[in-house]
Amino acid sequence: MKSSIWLAVAFTTLGGVAFAEETRHADAHEHGHGTFQMVIEDDHAVIEIAVPAFDIIGFEHTPSTTAQRDAMADAAAALSRPNTLFAMPAAAGCAIGQIEIGFGATGGHRHEHGDQDEHEEHADDNHGKDDHEKDEETHSEVKAFYLLACKKTEALNRIEFGYFDAFPEAEELDVVILSAAGQSAGEVDRDNKVFEIE
């Protein structure tokens, strides 16, 4: 199938949700600020977001309490609904083909599967919200990768970021969209949730 080949290409090229590579957004870890990258080609769209974990789950250490684990599960559930987070025009007829969600520390290389409680536990107990800045090592990032199959990509002219409603800690996303029409870039935030693709 064409789409599966395509998916394979997308995965190898984007590197899935690997954290090993240094990326621009990883350089500037700033709570509330994440990146949203989307590439539209042929009848597919690939979205990759990279956001400080704080924006999504409210903390950046390995979850230790039940409440924290619940928060993580909730976040994962919310992240699995891209049509709510990044609402696109119905006319584009986009269907979700693949979703990958990863929680991990910037700089480290690990995939989160909820089974890493032992790991780095010492750092977590007295880890308040306020001393994140000092504690570089425990910064972690959430990455999500979505593959959409669209009937009519030309109709993809705007995205409404329900993302900000889903994640109250999120403040801003740097948006880059590459499509046949060209490259567009900008910011969306809480007050300005709609990105118009030129």
> What's the min distance (Å) between Cβ of 138 and other proteins?
25
Q: How far is the CB of 7 from other proteins (least distance, A)?
A: 10
Residue 172: CB atoms within 10 Å: 18
CB of 73 to other proteins, least distance (A): 29
In this structure, the number of other CB atoms found within 10 A of the CB of residue 106 comes to: 21
Distance between first and last Cα of the chain = 31
Tokens of 130: 């306020």
Nearest C-alpha neighbor of 142 from the set 41, 64, 25, 5: 25
The least distance separating other proteins from the CB of residue 116, rounded to whole angstroms, comes to: 26
Nearest to 62, CA basis, from 112, 100, 4, 10: 112
Min CB(5)–other proteins separation in Å: 12
Count CB atoms within 10 A of the CB of residue 122.
8
Of 71 and 176, CB closest to other proteins? 176
Nearer to other proteins, 38 or 76 (CB): 38
C-beta closer to other proteins: residue 12 or 65: 12
Q: In angstroms, what CA-CA distances link 152 with 18, 92, 178?
A: 30, 5, 16
Which residues contact other proteins by CB under 8 A? 9-10, 13-15, 21-23, 37, 39-41, 46, 48, 176, 178-186, 198
Closest contact distance (angstroms) between CB of 45 and other proteins is 10
Nearer to other proteins, 63 or 97 (CB): 97
**Closer residue to other proteins (CB): 10 or 101:** 10
The candidate with the shortest Cα–Cα distance to 51, out of 125, 144, 115, 182, is 144
If the CB atoms of residues 40 and 78 are measured against other proteins, the closer one turns out to be: 40
Neighbours of 12 (CB within 10 A): 9
Cα three-residue angle 120-168-184, rounded to 5 degrees:
100
